[in-house]
Structure 1
């Protein structure tokens, strides 16, 4: 049972359960139950891998602790959406970054824009290049000090610059949301601001992910049934990759995504928002599905490389986000 503190907060939170419900109301997704104690501990500079009950006693004054946590997590969510370009909690590439983000925004409620940019670079570098650390690391809390810029530079220095050869990224996988790579590629696809194939309206990722989850990444060509191997034939190896997927609501019975793309009903402004180039569309309308998938894969590879470069700051001149030795 989560201890219930006395009094009420401006966020109307009286317990961790209330805090979780309040955060869920911010339209960014719902935290797992076990994440809330971790974030509360991290915000207060405590070892967030320890048993929550060993760090906070039932008789502690909970109201200030919950208020501080609510404010810090709310700011971290805003940073993820507005600075890091991540539209939903399910798309955070590595959730183990959340405790550090929340501690940072507790110490620095309004950090300078330059620090926010570098913090975004750290988030993406940690996700893509920091393979040596695969679990939450409370030792990194010591890097976060009253100096906002120094704190972010210390985090970046710990991860290091993008490694040589990162740009050899070659082929997008399947856009589920289970792995770090899945979530990175899903974010890259959403950075194109996908539009509805019928109306042309820009899709809101958060609400669609809330309703459909990973199923929001729909196949164009039917994938193999029951998880079996793709059928033999040209392009079959691409049926289970992002080349065969678009981010879109499920259509009404009798309509298909592939049919909409093929028939020309879709407004032209929609196609670039799904990485559907003129050559790929021409191949599709000529009945060459293999060429369509190969061309779309190539377009996605180019886009995802540019996305990684921009998000990690790998295109920054002299990699200015890393401190001088």
Structure 2
């Protein structure tokens, strides 16, 4: 049962259920119910790997705890969207970073821009290059690095993780299937969304949150029909790319009789839309000449280039902070 504060205290969140609903209304996605007690504990510097009933006594005043948690999680959501470039909660590459971020923004409600930038570098390096197995002890050790000194806190996180390694990042720049189940899926999907995809018919900018809330991973639709479920791709040039991001665009399902591939192929789509889906002129020319295999290969190349640049920017490799990510 969710805790309720004393009746005389006025608060916007009277329970964990209220807290979840308030956060969901921020248009960033909905937290799982079991995440809320964990974040409440993390915000207050408690052991968030334990049952929250063992950390908070029944006689505790829950109102201020819920209010502090709401503010901290809200700031963390804003940071993820505005600084880390992650438009939707379900695309956070490593959700195990969320308790630490919430604690950070409780301690530092308004960190300076430089600290926010370096914290974003930490978040992406943690997602891409931290090969250590996630464990409760490791999570608590990271939480203990956060102190009232904002710069020391960020520096300690980066020092714990170290700079990007010379190898190991390549798997994130090879477009796989954007199913959102793995870290690589979410990195690739977020990189594609960084292009600000537009509607192939109207040219209107697509809002990631409502489309992902409705369609989930199916928001990344295939251009060429994929093989039947459980089957192998049909033989032929380019068949190995049918189940990769090279054959997917972020887009709402079209009305019957409309085809994404048809819109791209016939030239009905406004030209401004194509760059927003990593559709370069050479790939479009191949498609219109009937060479689907060349189209997929060229779009894969465009995505590799874009995802590499995205990773370099997000991890801080282009700022001279830490080791650079090699081109090959």
**TM-score, structure 2 normalization:** 0.95
Q: Distance in 2 between matches of 1:31 and 1:61?
A: 23
Moved more, 5-14 or 148-157: 5-14
Can you list the C-alpha shifts for 1:231-280, whole angstroms capped at 9, x where unaligned? 11110000000000000010001101000000000000000000000110
Correspondence 1:314 to 2:323:
no
Paired residues of 1:80 and 1:86 also in contact (CA < 8 A): yes
Alignment of 1:241-280 (within 5 A): 241-280=244-283
Alignment of 1:199-210 (within 5 A): 199-210=202-213
Can you list the C-alpha shifts for 1:156-196, whole angstroms capped at 9, x where unaligned? 11111000035644521101111110000000000000000
C-alpha displacement at 1:154, in angstroms?
A: 0.6
Correspondence 1:146 to 2:148:
yes
Determine helix, strand or coil for the equivalent of 2:144. Answer: helix
Correspondence 1:94 to 2:97:
no
Q: Distance in 2 between matches of 1:96 and 1:247?
A: 26
Paired residues of 1:86 and 1:92 also in contact (CA < 8 A): yes
Determine helix, strand or coil for the equivalent of 2:317. Answer: coil
Paired residues of 1:42 and 1:48 also in contact (CA < 8 A): yes
Q: CA RMSD in A?
A: 1.5
Q: Which residue of 2 aligns with 1:163?
A: 165
Correspondence 1:304 to 2:302:
no
Q: Which residue of 2 aligns with 1:118?
A: 118
Structure 1 stretches of 4+ moved >4 Å: 8-11
Q: Which residue of 2 aligns with 1:294?
A: 297
Paired residues of 1:7 and 1:63 also in contact (CA < 8 A): no
**TM-score, structure 1 normalization:** 0.96
Gaps of 5+ in 2: none
| Distance change in 2, residues 1:9/1:161 (3 Å) | farther
Paired residues of 1:238 and 1:293 also in contact (CA < 8 A): yes
Can you list the C-alpha shifts for 1:293-323, whole angstroms capped at 9, x where unaligned? 00000000000000000000011125399xx
- How many residues align structurally? 321
Q: Which residue of 2 aligns with 1:34?
A: 34
Q: Distance in 1 between matches of 2:288 and 2:197?
A: 21
C-alpha displacement at 1:134, in angstroms?
A: 2.5
Paired residues of 2:227 and 2:234 also in contact (CA < 8 A): yes
Can you list the C-alpha shifts for 1:1-38, whole angstroms capped at 9, x where unaligned? 12222247776211101100000000000000110000
Choose which of 171, 176, 184 in structure 2 pairs with 1:173.
176
Paired residues of 1:9 and 1:67 also in contact (CA < 8 A): no
Can you list the C-alpha shifts for 1:196-234, whole angstroms capped at 9, x where unaligned? 001111111111111111110000001111131111111
| Distance change in 2, residues 1:207/1:135 (3 Å) | farther
Q: Which residue of 2 aligns with 1:48?
A: 48
Q: Which residue of 1 aligns with 2:73?
A: 73
